[in-house]
């Protein structure tokens, strides 16, 4: 099945990230402007049928084997279980990235609909600090959501932590402990220049090297062989699980990146940091044939650059922030 969706540098794309909404009930300071954003209107969003059609084309023609539903906050999209169920008819692994706020209610429904795995974002284990970062007093609810996901069998449950200098870099060990005790994989993410308020600077980034050595000095780690996944993986020498570190800034993994994305309003992106989008919604709504959609996808992927260019003098931040692109 599938000849592979390959770019000019020989990277074969297998992982499709689908943003299902740009809306969010949090205001994480590294992602959204404090005052919020103008949300897309319903008719601007891709329908579940459109999302399923494009995924099916990618699976049947290019062997895409994994999709991740994201946003904005994907669980705000009404009837998300229906989309999961529609996608589950395809031979793919389905994952969800969420702020976890509704998983206490929804984890079992999502699992029954066909969801395989979940990544839950939580950037502080201190209630007050969590509130400052997200503008929501909901840390306990997110932790309940993590527990509900473990219970529902959405495994391995992973938690995403964006590490920011002077904000939460003093909690690295606490997070490691949390992961070891609960059997969840903590993914520490380097802060990327995708914040809406454009406060990012290299000084706010805590590097893979620093995260690794902080944890390694308390809980010794060893390297796990790397796949195409963005996280560098390390396991605890004492057998108490593993961590991931996503070093997009200090050790970019563009040479093995196998991701493609679609925004909630149907714009195809060949890179998180791309300044170019390809209008798949227009193609889907203008009765294009599958063959014509394949031509557009191949053109869009062949335009993928070799690397994201963060740190280069000519680097231009994408016009949209992370919540609008889909993390």
Residues that bind ligand SAM (CB under 6 A): 24, 30-31, 70-71, 73, 97-99, 121, 160, 162, 189, 191-192, 194-195, 322-323, 327
> How many positions of this chain bind ligand SF4 (CB under 6 A)?
13
- Smaller CB separation from ligand SF4, 32 or 245: 32
Contacting ligand SF4 (CB under 6 A), which of 18, 28, 92, 194?
Answer: 28
Q: Does 73 bind ligand SF4 (CB under 6 A)?
A: yes
Contacting ligand SF4 (CB under 6 A), which of 75, 85, 99, 263?
Answer: 99
Buried b (16+ CB within 10 A) or exposed e, 21-42: bbbbebbbbbbbeeeebeebee
Contacting ligand SF4 (CB under 6 A), which of 5, 18, 20, 24?
Answer: 24
- Smaller CB separation from ligand SAM, 62 or 110: 110
Contacting ligand SF4 (CB under 6 A), which of 18, 58, 62, 71?
Answer: 71
| Residues from 115 through 174 that contact ligand SF4 (CB under 6 A) | 121
Query: Within 13 Å, how many C-alpha atoms sit on residue 157's CB side?
Result: 29
CA distances from 241 to 82, 158, 198, 272, 310 (A): 33, 12, 35, 29, 32
From the CB of 251, what's the least distance to ligand SAM, in Å? 14
- Smaller CB separation from ligand SAM, 31 or 172: 31
From the CB of 305, what's the least distance to ligand SF4, in Å? 25
Residue 210 interaction partner, one of ligand SAM, ligand SF4, none, beta carbon < 5-8 Å per kind = none
CA distances from 13 to 67, 71, 111, 264, 302 (A): 11, 20, 26, 20, 11
Alpha-helical runs (H) found in the chain: 48-62, 80-87, 103-113, 127-134, 139-152, 172-182, 208-216, 280-285, 290-302, 322-325
Contact 162, 194 (CB under 8 A): no
Residue 247 interaction partner, one of ligand SF4, ligand SAM, none, beta carbon < 5-8 Å per kind = none
- Report the candidate in 6, 5, 16, 8 with the shortest Cα–Cα distance to residue 306: 8
The SS3 assignment for 271 reads coil
CA distances from 24 to 72, 75, 98, 105, 222 (A): 5, 9, 10, 18, 37
- Report the candidate in 136, 143, 87, 142 with the shortest Cα–Cα distance to residue 116: 87
Q: Under the phi-then-psi rule, with left for phi > 0, alpha for psi from -120 to 50, and beta for the rest, what region is 234?
A: beta
From the CB of 138, what's the least distance to ligand SAM, in Å? 12
Residue 32 interaction partner, one of ligand SF4, ligand SAM, none, beta carbon < 5-8 Å per kind = ligand SF4
> Between β-strands 242-246 and 185-190, what pairing exists: parallel, antiparallel or unpaired?
parallel
From the CB of 250, what's the least distance to ligand SF4, in Å? 21
Residue 55 interaction partner, one of ligand SAM, ligand SF4, none, beta carbon < 5-8 Å per kind = none
Residue 7 interaction partner, one of ligand SF4, ligand SAM, none, beta carbon < 5-8 Å per kind = none
- Smaller CB separation from ligand SAM, 187 or 281: 187
Contacting ligand SF4 (CB under 6 A), which of 19, 102, 124, 323?
Answer: 323
- The alpha carbon torsion through 61, 67, 70, 71 (nearest 10 deg) reads 0
- Torsions phi, psi of 261, nearest 5? -140, 155
- Smaller CB separation from ligand SAM, 171 or 195: 195
Residue 195 interaction partner, one of ligand SF4, ligand SAM, none, beta carbon < 5-8 Å per kind = ligand SAM
Interface with ligand SF4 by CB under 6 A: which residues?
Answer: 24, 26-28, 31-32, 71-73, 99, 121, 322-323
């Amino acid at each position: 099945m599938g000849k592979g969706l390959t770019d000019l540098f020989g990277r074969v794309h297998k992982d499709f990230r689908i943003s299902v909404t740009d809306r969010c009930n949090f205001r994480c300071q590294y992602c959204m402007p404090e005052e919020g954003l103008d949300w897309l209107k319903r008719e601007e969003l891709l329908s579940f049928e459109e999302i399923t059609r494009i995924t099916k084309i990618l699976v049947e023609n290019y062997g895409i084997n994994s999709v991740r539903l994201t946003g904005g906050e994907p669980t705000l999209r009404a009837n998300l279980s229906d989309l999961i169920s529609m996608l589950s008819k395809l031979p793919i692994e389905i994952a969800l990235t969420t702020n976890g706020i509704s998983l206490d209610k929804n984890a079992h429904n999502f699992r029954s609909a066909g969801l395989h795995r979940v990544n839950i974002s939580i950037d502080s284990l201190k209630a007050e600090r969590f509130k400052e970062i997200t503008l929501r007093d909901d840390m306990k609810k997110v932790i309940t959501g993590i527990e509900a996901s473990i219970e529902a069998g959405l495994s391995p449950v992973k938690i995403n932590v964006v590490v920011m200098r002077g904000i939460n870099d003093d909690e690295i060990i606490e997070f490691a402990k949390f992961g070891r005790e609960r059997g969840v994989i903590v993914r520490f993410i380097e802060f990327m220049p995708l914040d809406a308020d454009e406060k990012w600077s290299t000084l706010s980034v805590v590097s893979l090297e620093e995260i690794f050595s902080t944890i390694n000095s308390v809980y010794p780690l060893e390297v796990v062989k790397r796949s195409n996944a963005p996280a560098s993986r390390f396991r605890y020498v004492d057998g108490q699980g593993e961590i991931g570190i996503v070093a997009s800034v200090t050790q970019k993994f563009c040479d093995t990146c196998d991701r493609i994305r679609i925004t909630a309003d149907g714009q195809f992106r060949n890179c998180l940091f791309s300044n170019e989008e390809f209008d798949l919604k227009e193609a889907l709504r203008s009765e294009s044939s599958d063959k014509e959609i394949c031509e557009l996808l191949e053109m869009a992927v062949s335009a993928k650059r070799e690397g994201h260019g963060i740190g280069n003098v000519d680097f231009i931040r994408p016009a949209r922030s992370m919540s609008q692109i889909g993390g």
